[in-house]
């Protein structure tokens, strides 16, 4: 059986202007010192990585891999969460999301979308040069403002939104297919792909594209009160990336799932550091291993209480403790009777 690799850490929440978080070499040394074996790199953060250069230069990619290898680290995936968000932006969010884009395309939604699509194409080529198998991203959103509508949605509104989302993403999926990379959407509220139903709606519209896959993050399912273990049973063939992130949902007399106007610390549903929330990671790692997931277990730290460096320090041993070494034999092999086909037929009463 295949085994999950790890522990790895997503660097987005840790990158900063002060050492050791301001260069790839320094942050790699920090991560390795905590016990991580891999890193997931945010492709938009120029302090750590140059996406366009990686798409065009094998020498640069070799340099990146060499920097990580010096610290005993592998590269799990690249991430284009911010650029993927900009592939589809509802006008209500134009100003809020403009800061994710390059300065020269801000204030111009069409140019911003084209820039985002090009970023994804760069990511496909960079991932190929780096020898990766999967890529992490967001889908963006056109329909999200209508997720719980009043007044009633006009007939066909959601269908039109998903048709357009598929139209924008299909050429990008094709680029990833040409590069031999699985494109993994993190199913996340705020994106049009936020649960199994929306993923299926999109998958149908992209013709069950082989490169259209899932980044599994149970924290978002805890907050939605979705069966996150059953999700693995249903969608395991499409799960090609894994964020290990915890969450808790504690409804009160005054708030439940829709508590997003409160601060993170005061919400009924909130993200937590690993082990501090409610996600059943024993069950999660068991099911992923059962179904042969052999990608990376990547810590994504997001917690409204605990300091990020404490969360990172605790995350590596937490993930390592949940990795499963798969068995090469059945537990009851010791009791094998050593039978053969002829004996089997006698035991079944065949040929009597």
Has residue 335 got a pLDDT over 70?
no
Q: Domains for the chain: give ranges and CATH numbers.
A: 5-347 (3.20.20.150)
Over residues 200-244, the pLDDT tens digits come to 999 999 999 999 999 999 999 999 999 999 999 999 999 999 999
| Cα within 13 Å of Cα(166), Cβ side | 18
Over residues 96-134, the pLDDT tens digits come to 999 999 999 999 999 999 999 999 999 999 999 999 999
List Cβ neighbours of 320 (8 Å cut-off, separation of 6 or more).
6, 7, 35
Question: Structure tokens of 249?
Answer: 């949902």
pTM of the predicted model, to two decimals? 0.95
pLDDT of residue 330: 72
Has residue 334 got a pLDDT over 70?
no
Question: Structure tokens of 316?
Answer: 């590596």
Neighbouring CB atoms inside 10 A of 249's CB total: 17
Cβ atoms of 316 and 36 closer than 8 Å: yes
Q: At what angle do helices 58-70 and 24-33 cross, to 10 degrees?
A: 30
pLDDT of residue 336: 73
Cβ atoms of 189 and 223 closer than 8 Å: yes
Query: How far from the centroid of its chain's Cα atoms is residue 90's Cα?
Result: 23
Cβ atoms of 165 and 140 closer than 8 Å: yes
The CA R_g of the chain, rounded to the nearest whole Å, is 22
262 band by pLDDT with thresholds 50, 70 and 90: very high
On average, the pLDDT of the chain sits at 96
Average pLDDT over residues 38-67: 98
Measured CA to CA, the distance from residue 199 to residue 210 in angstroms comes to: 14
DSSP 72-130: T-EEEEEEEHHHHHTTSB-GGGHHHHGGGS-GGGTT-HHHHHHHHHHHHHHHHHHHHHT
pLDDT of residue 328: 78
Measured CA to CA, the distance from residue 312 to residue 316 in angstroms comes to: 7
| Cα within 13 Å of Cα(88), Cβ side | 24
Over residues 7-41, the pLDDT tens digits come to 999 999 999 999 999 999 999 999 999 999 999 99
Has residue 332 got a pLDDT over 90?
no
């Amino acid at each position: 059986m295949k085994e999950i690799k790890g522990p790895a850490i997503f660097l987005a929440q840790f990158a900063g202007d002060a050492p050791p978080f301001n260069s790839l070499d320094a942050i790699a040394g920090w991560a390795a010192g905590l016990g991580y074996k891999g890193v997931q790199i945010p492709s938009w953060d120029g302090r750590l990585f140059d996406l366009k250069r990686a798409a065009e230069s094998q020498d640069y990619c070799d340099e990146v891999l060499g920097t990580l290898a010096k610290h005993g680290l592998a590269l799990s995936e690249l991430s284009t969460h911010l650029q993927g968000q900009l592939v589809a932006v509802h006008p209500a969010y134009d100003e809020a999301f403009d800061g994710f884009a390059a300065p020269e395309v801000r204030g111009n939604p069409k140019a911003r979308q084209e820039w985002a699509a090009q970023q994804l194409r760069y990511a496909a080529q960079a991932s190929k040069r780096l020898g990766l198998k999967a890529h992490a991203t967001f889908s963006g959103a056109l329909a999200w403002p209508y997720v719980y509508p009043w007044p009633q949605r006009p007939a066909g509104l959601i269908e039109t939104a998903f048709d357009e989302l598929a139209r924008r993403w299909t050429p990008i999926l094709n680029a990833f297919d040409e590069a031999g990379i699985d494109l993994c959407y993190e199913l996340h509220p705020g994106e049009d792909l936020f649960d199994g139903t929306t993923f299926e709606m999109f998958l149908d519209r992209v013709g069950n594209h082989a490169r259209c896959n899932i980044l599994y993050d149970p924290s978002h399912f805890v907050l939605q009160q979705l069966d996150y273990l059953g999700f693995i049973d249903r969608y395991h063939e499409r799960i090609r990336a894994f964020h290990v992130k915890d969450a808790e949902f504690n409804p009160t007399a005054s708030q439940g799932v829709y508590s997003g106007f409160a601060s993170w610390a005061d919400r009924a549903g909130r993200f937590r550091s690993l082990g501090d929330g409610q996600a059943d990671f024993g069950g999660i790692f068991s099911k992923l291993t059962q179904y042969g997931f052999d990608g990376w277990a990547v810590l994504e730290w997001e917690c409204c209480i605990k300091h990020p460096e404490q969360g990172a320090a605790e995350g590596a041993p937490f993930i390592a403790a949940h990795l499963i070494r798969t068995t090469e034999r059945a537990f009851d092999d010791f009791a094998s009777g050593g039978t053969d086909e002829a004996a089997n037929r006698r035991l079944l009463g065949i040929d009597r």
